[in-house]
Amino acid sequence: MSARFHVRFAAVVLPVLLAAAGSARADIPELLACADKTDNAARLACYDAAAAKLKKQMADAEKQSVTLFGFKLPSFDGSDDSGQGETVKLAPKLVTQVDSTVKSLTRDVAGHRVLNLENGQSWRIEDTKPAAGINTAGTPVQIVRNVFGGFYMGLGGENNELSVTRVR
């Protein structure tokens, strides 16, 4: 085998191997060292060893848990990997309700009322209708997510249904 063949072989195989797996980047020096070998049998053995190592890394990466909405997807390759004893990684919990108390009421530059809560959150009140107790510090507040993703606020245990938007 000529040296030209080995250069062509490395030029074709090396990009394919690099594109195949991101974890293969650690094996680049090994592959480049194989190209420097002068003995044909040693060079072929070196490439074979590097390819076998890369195949194993790719198989291991493929076996890692693939999740969809926090749940592990089933394996369709015929293996009996039931995932027994593994902890399921769940997606972050969606907050649907905030309970706090009124700290202060201010106005933004557009004149909207901004309600500052004891938990550090600030909510802009979109509605112009009056609400009893909104100016009183310590008034309990309940903010609930509506069906469309917006928020409504109730003051003092009453369902005032003021439309609010989180500012901070």
Calpha distance 77→86 (Å, rounded): 19
Domains of the chain, residue spans: 3-64, 97-166
pLDDT at 123: 92
Residue range 50-70: average pLDDT?
A: 70
Higher-confidence position of 163 and 66: 163
pTM: 0.45
Mean pLDDT over the full length of the chain = 75
Residue 124 banded pLDDT, cuts 50, 70, 90: very high
pLDDT at 97: 85
